[in-house]
Amino acid sequence: MEAREALALNDDAPVLLYDGTCGFCNASVQFIIARDRRGTMRFAPLQSDVGQQVIGRHPHLEGVDSVVYVDGIGDTRGEKVAIRSAAALAVCSYLGAPWSWAAVTRIVPARLRDMAYDFIARHRYRFFGRHDACMLPPRDVRDRFIGEI
C-alpha cells in the first residue's frame, strides 16, 4: 500500500466503496465530491485492493455490488459498514443540510427502502451505462481516491 493510501486510511474520514464500472455510481461520486463541503470523504472502487480488504473483514459483504459506506476504516474494533439504502442515508447525513433531511425516510422500514434501492441497482447499467474501467478522477480530487485495481 502506498504512503498516500496509508495516510488516507488512518484519518477519520469515511470511505465510500462503489462499483467502479457503473455509470450511475461514478456520477454519484461526482455528485458527492461537488457537495462535500469538508472535502474529506474518500472513495475506492469495490474492485480495488482497499475494497477487497474491507469485504474480507466483513464476510456479509461477499457478493455485494452496491455502495458501501465505511466509517473508521482500518480500525479493527471500530470499523462500521453500511450498505444499500443505509449507505445512501449515511452519505446524505455526512453531506449535511439539505441532503441530511433525507434522514426522514428512516421512518420507512429498511426492507422497503432497500427494495427501492435494489430496483435502481438492478437496472443501473441499463439506465446509466457501464464502463470498461474505473473513471480517472479529476486531478484536483485525485488524492481522495484510494486503492488500486
The whole domain housing 73 covers 3-133
Q: pLDDT tens digit string along 14-24?
A: 999 988 777 77
Tell me the whole-structure pTM to 2 decimals.
Answer: 0.79
For residue range 50-90, list pLDDT tens digits in order: 989 999 899 899 888 788 999 988 776 788 999 988 999 99
CATH code for the domain in which residue 54 is found: 3.40.30
**What whole-number distance in Å separates Cα of residue 42 and Cα of residue 70?**
10
Long-range contacts of 48-54, Cβ-Cβ distance < 8 Å, separation of 24 or more: 48/20, 48/134, 48/146, 48/147, 48/148, 48/149, 49/1, 49/147, 49/148, 49/149, 50/5, 50/9, 50/15, 50/17, 50/146, 50/147, 51/17, 51/147, 54/15, 54/17, 54/79, 54/81
Asked if residue 67 is part of any domain, the answer here is yes
* pLDDT at position 140 over 80: no
Domain count, the chain: 1
In a domain, 138, yes or no: no
Q: Is residue 50 a part of any domain in this protein?
A: yes
